Structure 1
Amino acid sequence: MNWLSRLFNRAPAVELAPELSARLDRWQALPAADLGQSHYRSRYVVVDVEASGLNMGKDRLISIGAVAVTNGVIDPADSFEVILRQDVVSDTENILIHGIGGQAQQGGVDPAEALLAYLDYVGKDPLVAYHALFDKTMIERAMLRYLGKKTDHAWIDLAWVVPELYKDLLDGHVGLDHWLALFGIENILRHNAVSDALATAMLLQVAMAKASVRGSETPQSFIEIEKARRWLRRSA
């Protein structure tokens, strides 16, 4: 069992207030997303997080930003952002990266409330990120700590999907900024969770169009593309 598996299997006992527990129960009762529907009949939620550092085992989740792509369309009003209240403010170097100052961190939303608001927003829809392992790990660690649960969302990592779809343009794994520049996508405020999620959502639209042309027309097809590319990378 690797360190990530051990981490996720240590579910602490968390006693939630009745109203919070009821909200979590309502979310758990939602039906699973249909991953076999067309991209253009699906709701994807693109997620980006800011944290106190890059250590997935030790650093803390500070904020979550999310933008929905519904039936292929981005509605700027259909977005989400929350700052989780921090007992200990992250260091100055970290604050200079994401711009969430000490006062904003200490004045954030109660973490359990923030995570439940996030779950209310994303529902059971497939989640998308670029280099998704970090975002997924930070969110799941916070879920275990504050809600005592881990979620079972389908995650799609564009860092694997886009290079497969556009290997004639850029071969190999590169940073998000390379793809944004290639397709003329502007990231208005780098290292802001919502701005990063919005730019990634635009990249998702590009991937959806290319995938549909080649017959990969569903969220499940993205998952299969990612699995196949990961397998090829391990086998190389």
Structure 2
Amino acid sequence: MRGSGAAPAPVALSAVRAQALADWQAAPPLDTRRSHYRTRYVVVDVEASGLDMKRDRLIAIGAVAVVNGRIDPADSFEVILRQEEVSTSDNILIHGIGGSAQREGTEPPDALLGFLHYCGHAPLVAYHALFDQTMIERAVREHLGVRLDACWIDLAWVLPDLFRERIDAQVMLDDWLALFDIDNIQRHNAVSDALATAMLLQAAMARATARGAKTPASFVDIEKARRWMRRSG
């Protein structure tokens, strides 16, 4: 679940942006063998101009940290990337980010640098993570000229393994939220979706720890095993 493919094309960055990128790259590396309760996870959700991961554009990123098992609402991140072309009216109805907000957003390199500095090298968590991962990695490659080689954890694969007695299948995020009686304050708002997913991560951490799967690496192993079983079934 790491970035792959050819090396990114060089991107001309200002001295300030290049230094910000270098500072992020020099941040302490992730230790996936630390306990869940000694780890800072970053739960991520994105909004985009559509569902085509090759052609549609990243519009917004929302993120919420789970630090040592706890959620601090103040430890969150949200940014709208400036769009040269506003997304369609139907698309705006889904995420609620209007034309003015898109045109007046943060310049993409600065938005992405802000996100990278917020995350550091923390494990990134999402539900059906492929879309979030692909959109963010593509934007980082295009606007910053680097590959984002992050540790991604997809709760859509992890949760069914940990709670087989409840839901032993891949289902929609809303099904898990209903199961755990978690309210999503504003559906299709990146930060609100990330906050709801962060609460699911807390449930996953507690169940995993009780079963002896006590680290981010254990989540990665669970996901790999579940994917292998799906391919082999």
State how many pairs are aligned.
231
Residue 207 of structure 1 aligns with which residue? 204
Aligned match for 2:180, one of 178, 183, 207: 183
2:142, 2:87 → 1: CA distance?
A: 18
Deviation at 1:10, TM superposition (A): 5.7
Instruction: Give the superposition deviation at 1:31.
Output: 2.0
Is 1:93 the equivalent of 2:90? Answer: yes
Offset at 1:75?
0.1
1:38-49 paired onto structure 2 within 5 Å: 38-49=35-46
Among 190, 193, 203, the alignment partner of 2:190 is: 193
Task: Return 163-172 or 191-200, whichever deviates more.
Answer: 163-172
Can you list the C-alpha shifts for 1:35-64, whole angstroms capped at 9, x where unaligned?
A: 101100100000000000000000000000
Task: Render the CA deviation track for 1:68-111: whole Å, top value 9, x for unaligned.
Answer: 00000000000000000000000000000000000000000000
Instruction: Give TM-score scaled by structure 2 length.
Output: 0.97
1:13 deviates by 2.0
Aligned position for 2:160: 163
Query: What's the CA shift for 1:9?
Result: 2.1
2:121 is paired with a residue whose SS is coil
The whole-number CA distance in structure 1 between the counterparts of 2:29 and 2:10 is 25
Question: What secondary structure is seen at the aligned counterpart in 2 of 1:74?
Answer: strand
Matches within 5 A, 1:219-230: 219-230=216-227
Residues 166-190 of structure 1: CA deviation (Å, up to 9, x unaligned) = 1111121101000000000000000
Q: Following superposition, which runs of at least 4 residues in structure 1 exceed 3 angstroms of deviation? A: none
Structure 1's unaligned 5+ residue stretches are none
Match 2:61 to one of 64, 67, 70: 64
Distance in 1 between the 2:72 and 2:14 partners?
34
Unaligned runs of 5+ in 2: none
1:123 is aligned to 120
Quote the Cα distance in structure 2 between the aligned partners of 1:35 and 1:13.
30
Amino acid at match of 2:208: A
1:104 aligns with 2:107: no
The one-letter amino acid paired with 2:97 is I
- 1:33 Cα deviation (Å)? 1.0
Alignment partners' CA distance in 2, 1:25 and 1:92: 38
Tell me, yes or no, if structure 1 residue 15 matches structure 2 residue 12.
yes
**Partner residue, 1:26:** 23
Q: Which amino acid aligns with 1:195?
A: S
Partner of 1:128, secondary structure, is strand
Give the aligned residue type for 1:48: D
Contact 2:112 2:140 in 1 (8 A): yes
Q: Distance in 2 between matches of 1:95 and 1:9?
A: 33
Within 1, Cα distance between the matches of 2:56 and 2:115? Answer: 20
Q: Which amino acid aligns with 2:156?
A: A
Distance in 2 between the 1:163 and 1:118 partners? 29
User: Counterpart of 2:204 in 1: which secondary structure?
Assistant: helix
Q: How many angstroms apart in 2 are the aligned matches of 1:112 and 1:39? A: 31
Q: Distance in 2 between matches of 1:216 and 1:193?
A: 29
